[in-house]
Amino acid sequence: MSLRESCGVYGVHVEGGEALPYLYWGLLAQNHRGHQSHGFATFSDGIRLYRELGMIPPLSGEELKNLMDRLPGSVGVGSVRYTTSGSADRESLRRNAMPILEHGSQHSIALSLNGNLVNIGELRSSLNLPQCLSDAYALNRLLLRGLEEDGSIQEAVRLCMESVEGAYSTVCLLDDGTLLAFRDPLGIRPLCHGCSRGITAFSSESVGLDINGIEYCGEVSPGELLWVEDGELHRERIRHSGRRAFCAFEFAYFARPDSLLNDRYVYEARVQ
């Protein structure tokens, strides 16, 4: 059995521009993180969703323009996925391709996840989550519950961090156009952010920023939430942990050698 990466995630807010080209190139640079499915979600008078099986394909300029026409908007999230929970038959791969989009009574959320929830059995019971749905649905339903009970992004993410055990680096798009990114308190999976020229982006690996000419600003800290609301970037440490547990396989196998992980180039770690 070969080693498999979990997934690659990307989120971007482009002031006065289109998000889709940044999502496309940022995830194309991370195609190695997920060969089984890919997808994008953007916001323009509601959330628009596109998901397909397989790797992100090379697109011509005309093909990319056609995809932009289907997915307009200045903010969006996306994902490339390997199966880390749920079945791997074709129907299951389509059902669990990310971003996943779920609707509550008051809110809708498109979510992309890189990670695994250790206590998924307990979460399935409390959230009435069918076995055929991946653990990304559990995280999304917790967020929806938190938003609809409290109305605060911070408290919704706090509910997730208090309820979930395991690894999760996550980007989400809310149905009011708010973009958020958060990371589990142990920092098991990578997640970085960058800012340039009115653009704020989040990426599993820094190569997703590099390809778009976005300046690397550092890691999303373990237990930290960052969100872009009305064009403004906010951040808050939601949950602290006394230790870190970054996945060693990221340096050894998963990440591209030209990526920065924990502010260190992967190729330097491999040489040492």
For the four alpha carbons of 199, 25, 216 and 223, in that order, the dihedral sign comes to positive
Residue 96 per-residue DSSP state: H
**Structure tokens, 149:** 């009970």
**Domain spans in the chain, listed from the N-terminal domain onward:** 7-114+168-271
Q: Which of 7, 160, 172, 247 is catalytic?
A: 7
H or E segment to which residue 139 belongs: helix 135-150
Token pair recorded at residue 99 = 């971003």
Q: Tell me whether residue 7 is one of the annotated catalytic residues.
A: yes
* Ordered alpha helix ranges (H), 151-216: 153-163, 207-210
Task: Encode pLDDT of 155-213 as tens digits.
Answer: 999 999 999 999 999 999 999 999 999 999 999 999 999 999 999 999 999 999 999 99
What pLDDT score does 1 carry?
A: 36
CB hemisphere CA count around 67 (13 angstroms): 24
Q: What is the pLDDT of residue 251?
A: 55
DSSP class of 213: T
Q: Which residues pair with 53 in a beta bridge?
A: 37
Rounded to 10 degrees, what is the CA torsion of 51, 53, 55, 59? -60
Alpha carbon distance 153, 132 (integer Å): 28
- CATH class as words, domain 7-114+168-271: alpha beta
- Report the DSSP beta bridge partners of residue 111: 100, 172
- CB count within 10 Å of CB 218 equals 12
Which stretches of the chain drop beneath a pLDDT of 70? Answer: 1-6, 84-87, 247-249, 251-253, 267, 269-272
For residue 98, the tally of other CB atoms under 10 A from its CB is 28
The pLDDT value given to residue 253: 62
Positive or negative torsion for Cα 208, 259, 55, 50: negative
